[in-house]
Amino acid sequence: MTDLERRLGEFAARVAELPGSHELETAEGLVRDALAELAKAKRRRDGGPQREQKLLRQIFRTLPIPVIVMDTGGTVRRINNETTRLLGSPAGYLIGRAFPLLIESSRRAAFRGRFAEALRSEESTTFETRLAHQGRAHTVRMVLSRLRMPGEPQEMVAAVALPTDVQLTGPDSGKDTPDESLFLEAARRHELSAQLTRLLLDDESLREPVALIRAARLLAAETADWVIADMVRDGGLHRAAVIAPSTQPVAKLQRAIESRDPAEAPLVARVLATRSGVVHEMLTDDSLLGADVLTQMKAGSLLSVPIQADDETAGVLTLVRLRDRQPFGLADLGLLEEIGTHLGLALRAQRSFQRSSNAADALRSGVLPRSLPEVAGFETAAIYHPGSAMRAIGGEFYDVFPMKGGWGFVIGGAAGRGEEAASVTSLVRNGVRVLSAFERDPGEALRKVNDALLAQHTGLFVMAAAGFVRGRKVRLASAGHHPAALLQPDGGVRFTEGGGVPLGFEEGAVPATEELTLTSGETLVLYSDGLVGTRSSAGENYGEARLTEVLARCVNQPPSAVVKAIEEDHRAFCDDEVVDEVTVLTLRRSR
C-alpha cells in the first residue's frame, strides 16, 4: 500500500502542475482529499489490506472526474463512473476496447504520439483533444501518466480527461435529468417500427415479392446509409439487395458489393450461425463485410441482425452508418432485431400466400376456360375480374363448349369462397358439360346437377344459368341467376325471365326455362351478381338500369367491345376499386 499511496501522491502532484485551469485545481483537491481519507483508513487498520484496497477501488469509482486506466497498448482496463457518464456507454462495453477509437478520427494520430511520449517519459503529458462516442463529442484537457500498480505485472497508463466546456459535478449531479434527445430518439425508433409494420402488412407486399426491397429502402431512408440483405436460398447465402446512399456517387461501389459473395463476410456468417444480432459502435475490424468493403464505404458503425421467424432463419440484414453520423447503439440493435423478426414473418407469409395463389390458379383453371371456342354463326367474348378484396379462391365461373347438334354455355357463382367453393363450382360446370351429351334441355341438366350437389352435403348453393344453342334457337335455364340482357340491333335492351331456385338449396327444385330466337346482330349478355350488385362509395347501386345504358351505347358492336365497355364503366363507377368478383359472358348472332 505504501508504494501505491506514493504513486497516487505523485499523480495528484502532476495534476496540480496543469497550467491555468481552475477545474483541474479542484480536481487536485479532490484527489488529495481521497488520499487523506485513505490515510485515515490506514491508521484505523480495522479491516486490514483487503479493506483498504476495497476503499481505494470505491474512491476510484466515485471520483467526480473522468479517469481511465489503459495498458501500454492503449486498451481500456479500468474506468470510473464519471467516464461512463461522459461517454454514454457502460463500463462493460468500454473495457477491452482500444481507447484511441474514442478519440475523434482527425486527432487519433496526434493522440498516439502523445501516448508514446507518455510511455517514454517519467513526466506527465498534457494536451487538448476531442472525445467522440455515441454521437457525443467533448473537447477535453487530457493528462497521460505512467502508472505502476501493485499486483500488476505490467505498467499502466492513467488518463484524466476533463472537459473544457463543463464544470465538475456537484453534490446534486447524481440526480437524473430528462434528456430531450433520448425522448426524440425513442420516438423516432417507434415511428420507424410503425412504418415498417404498415409496409409489411400492405396487400402488395403479400401479392408480390417486394417486402424485402421495400423494407431495405425504408431503413436506408430513415436510419442507415447502407443496407445489405443476404438471403438463404438453395442451401447457401445469396445477396438479395444492396441499398446505397442516394446523395453520394457510389454506384460503382454498390455494384461491387452486389457482386460479392456473402460467404466472404465473417460478420454475416457469424450472425447466421448464432442467430443473434451484433452491433459495432466503433469499427476496429475493417474486414467484417469482406476485404476493404467497410473502408471504401467510410463506415463508422454497423449492426447486423438475423431475418428469422420462429426456428427458421431466412437471411441476414446489415446496416451501416458513415463516420460523420451518430453510431448505432444497443437500442438500435434491439429495434432491428425486432424488425428482423417482423420481416422474417412477412417473408414467410408471402411464400404461403404465393403457394395459395398458385393453388388458386390451378383450381380456377378448372372453372374458367383458357379461351372461348370458335362457334359457327356466333361471336363470343367474356371477362372475369377476381376483385381486389379476394383472400381466397373465387366462386364464380363460366364456360362455352360444343355439344351434339350445337353448343352450350353456363355461368354462375357459389355463395362462398375458398377451395370448397371452387370444388362445388367445378362440379356444376363439368356436370352441365357431361349432361349436355345426354340431355336436350339445359333445365334438366341443371336439375340433375342440383341433386348431385345436395348429395354432397356441402351446405353451399350456386346461382347458375345454362343455355343450349341449336341454330338460332337458345334454350335458356336459370337456377336463381340474374336475368340475361338482350341487346337488339336497334339499340333496344330487354331482359329474360331469369329466376328459379339456386342449385343445392332445395331437393327436387325445377329451374326456370325459356326459349329465345336470336336474329342477326342481337347480343345476349349474361353477368354475375358482382356486377349489378356493386355499390359506389356514395352507396349508389350499379344495377340493371346502368347496365342497360351501357349496352344501349354498344349497338352493333362486337362482343369484345361490349364486355370492354361494361368493364370500363364498372371500374369508373367503383373509382377503380373493384372489390367483388365480376363475370360477364356475351354471344352475338353474326348471321
**DSSP-derived secondary structure letter, 66:** -
Burial environment of residue 187 by CB neighbours within 10 A (0 to 12, 13 to 18, 19 or more)? exposed
**Strand, coil or helix: what is 338?**
helix
pLDDT at res. 294: 92
Q: How confident is the model at residue 169 (pLDDT cuts 50, 70, 90)?
A: very low
pLDDT digits (tens, 9 = 90+) for 60-79: 877 888 999 999 989 998 89
pLDDT for the residue numbered 49: 60
Query: Which grid cell sits at 345?
Result: 414473418
Could you count the other beta carbons within 10 Å of the beta carbon of residue 300? 22
Percent share of the chain, pLDDT over 70:
80
Q: Rounded to 5, what percent of the chain is helix, strand, coil? A: 40, 25, 35
Q: How far apart are CA 583 and CA 78, in angstroms?
A: 77
566 contacts 373 by C-beta, under 8 angstroms: no
Domain ranges of the chain: 2-163, 181-356, 365-589
Distance CA 102, CA 112 (A): 12
At residue 481 the predicted structure's pLDDT band, cuts being 50, 70 and 90, is: very high
Output the average pLDDT for the chain: 82
- Its pTM stands at 0.48
Where is 68: in which H helix or E strand?
Answer: strand 67-71
Q: Which residue, 84, 82, 116, 110, is CA-closest to 97?
A: 84
The residue-averaged pLDDT of 350-360 equals 66
Look up the CATH architecture of domain 181-356: 2-Layer Sandwich (3.30)
Helix (H, G, I), strand (E, B) or coil at 7: helix
Match 395463389 to its residue by C-alpha cell.
357
Q: Position of cell 388458386?
A: 360
Rounded Cα distance between 15 and 176, Å, is: 29
Determine the Cα–Cα distance for residues 368 and 379; give it in Å rounded to an integer. Answer: 18
Contact 240, 315 (CB under 8 A): yes
- Number of residues assigned to the chain: 591
- The predicted-structure confidence for 201-238, as pLDDT tens digits, reads as follows 666 655 556 788 888 888 988 889 999 999 998 888 89
Instruction: Determine the Cα–Cα distance for residues 283 and 289; give it in Å rounded to an integer.
Output: 11
pLDDT digits (tens, 9 = 90+) for 131-151: 987 667 888 999 999 887 666
Q: Judge whether residue 299 has pLDDT over 70.
A: yes
The Cα–Cα gap between 590 and 472 comes to: 10
Q: Name the CATH superfamily, with its identifier, for domain 2-163.
A: PAS domain (3.30.450.20)
HEC secondary structure over 110-171: HHHHHHHHHHHCCCCEEEEEEEEECCEEEEEEEEEEEECCCCCCCCEEEEEEEECCCCCCCC
- What pLDDT score does 123 carry? 86
pLDDT band at residue 425 using 50, 70 and 90 as cut-offs:
confident
DSSP-assigned letters across all residues of 455-506: HTT----EEEEEEEEETTEEEEEEEBBPPPEEE-TTS-EEE---B-PPBTSS
Interacting residues of 408 by C-beta distance below 8 A, sequence separation 6+: 400, 401, 402, 432, 433, 436, 442, 466, 467, 468, 469
Q: Classify domain 365-589 at the CATH superfamily level.
A: PPM-type phosphatase domain (3.60.40.10)
Do the domains spanning 2-163 and 365-589 agree at the CATH topology level?
A: no
With a cut of 70, say whether residue 525 has pLDDT above it: yes
Torsion of CA 87, 92, 97, 102, to 10 degrees: 0
- The mean pLDDT of 496-519, rounded to a whole number, is 91
In the predicted structure, residue 493 carries a pLDDT above the cut 90: yes
- Higher-confidence residue of 377 and 150: namely 377
Strand partners of residue 243: 227
DSSP assignment of 347-390 equals: HHHHHHHHHHHHHHHHHHTTTS-SSPPP-TTEEEEEEEE--TT-
Q: Give the integer Cα–Cα distance in Å for 411 and 223.
A: 54
Specify whether the CB–CB gap between 422 and 366 falls below 8 A.
yes
User: Between 79 and 27, whose confidence is greater?
Assistant: 79
> DSSP for 378-411?
EEEEEEEE--TT--S---EEEEEEEETTEEEEEE
pLDDT interval class at 395 (50, 70, 90): confident
Dump pLDDT digits (tens) for 179-195. 555 566 667 777 777 77
